[in-house]
Amino acid sequence: MNAGHEQKPFFEGAPMMLQTTDQTRREFLKSSTTKVLGLSAAAHALPALNMAFAETGKVKVAHVRDERAISSRNVCDPKEARIMIARGLETITGATEESAAWNALGVTKQDVVAIKVNCNSWTFLLHTHPELVNALAESLQTVITPGNIVIYERRTSELSRCGYQANTGAQGVRCYGNDDGGGYDSDEELTKTVTDRCTKIINFPTLKCVEGEFGGSLFLKNHIGSLMDSDMPNCHGNAVFCTEVCARPSIKNKTVLGICDGLRGTYKRGTPWYWSGIIMSRDQIAAEWVALTVINEKRRQETLGEIALPGYVKMAETRYGLGTCNPEKIDVRKMVL
């Protein structure tokens, strides 16, 4: 973890002019302080979700930015992270209580939710911030118990290196790598954390530009960390393979939410960039499209060439039915906290 910052342990508890909605931090805090803390449950969660999508007939993507959430030294503020997660959930579901938002996304108290983070060192240490994931875990606990939450990545050592508190015990939020996850399923060739232990998945990559065939290393590429080590060579330079991995039944059918950590990301190889935001949607492919537009906006500012929408993202929609990357079907909801 960063010096001077105390991390609460997990085990303690086309045209670009899409429809947008901007809301200030003051307006949100005034109306939703209690709701952010998830202190009460709301009824009629599913009707709220249906109403939210009926407004436009499009899939919603929350585009939330908060400069207070991250410092120039890459220190994340846990309170701001908590607000960002809650605000994103409210935006994509229409539910004003976090428990109702999770119910609207299909999460019930019986579920075991796996959170796939990214701990890729790449050209510099770039990872899903533990404070954001902790905020997500706290939000989930408005519906499920801590023991029904699993944070995972390829190796436990990678999680520890990035500031996560490893926990393979029987109490609290679990946090471990595939090497401590009980092996791999022989049919889907995925970690048993995905195939056997969880009933729902949240995909939580970082905002990373890699250029070339992949464009960005975002939602579709994040499940490389769900594979057995012997399959790793198939992932490099093979975008089609990465898309197919996400279409395997346990990933495709269990994924209920995608969140991109853009507090610190990249807009070109090896260059850190503090975008200070998150991108959240129930549709990972729509979220991937939005994340690429965010990267391209920065690249235009820096007089760099734009990244075309990669073919494998289109394939995720047309061949595998994983979501949509059609901008006419995406409703981006922007807000600044």
User: What whole-number distance in Å separates Cα of residue 181 and Cα of residue 196?
Assistant: 10
Residue 46: pLDDT above 60?
no
Domains identified in the chain and CATH numbers: 107-328 (3.40.50)
Q: How confident is the model at residue 232 (pLDDT cuts 50, 70, 90)?
A: confident
Q: Which helix (H) or strand (E) holds 260?
A: strand 255-262
For residues 315-327, average pLDDT: 93
DSSP letter at 60? Answer: E
Q: Over range 61-66, report the average pLDDT.
A: 96
Cβ atoms 307, 35 nearer than 8 A:
no
Flag whether pLDDT at 49 surpasses 70: no
CA 156 to chain centre: 19
**Range scoring the smallest mean pLDDT among 7-16, 229-238, 245-254:** 7-16
Q: What is the pLDDT of residue 230?
A: 87
pLDDT value at residue 325: 94
Tokens for 205? 């990559």
Residue 140 has what pLDDT? 98
Amino acid at 252: K
pLDDT score for 237: 72
Of all residues in the chain, the percent with pLDDT exceeding 70 is: 81
Q: What would the DSSP string read from start to end of 146-178?
A: GGGEEEEES-HHHHHHTT---B-SSSSSEEEEG
Considering the entire predicted model, what is its pTM? 0.83
Q: What is the pLDDT of residue 172?
A: 95
User: Which tops the pLDDT comparison, 213 or 307?
Assistant: 307
**pLDDT attached to residue 123:** 66
Mean pLDDT of 207-236: 82
Q: Is 47 helix (H, G, I), strand (E, B) or coil?
A: helix
> What local confidence, expressed as pLDDT, does residue 269 receive?
83
Pairing between β-strand 149-153 and β-strand 277-281 as defined by DSSP bridges: unpaired
CB within 8 A of 271, min separation 6: which ones? none
pLDDT mean over 130-143? 97
pLDDT category at 44 given cuts 50, 70, 90 is very low
Q: What is the pLDDT of residues 146-166, one digit of tens each?
A: 999 999 999 999 999 999 999
pLDDT, tens only, 244-303: 999 999 999 999 999 999 999 999 888 899 999 999 999 999 999 999 999 999 999 999
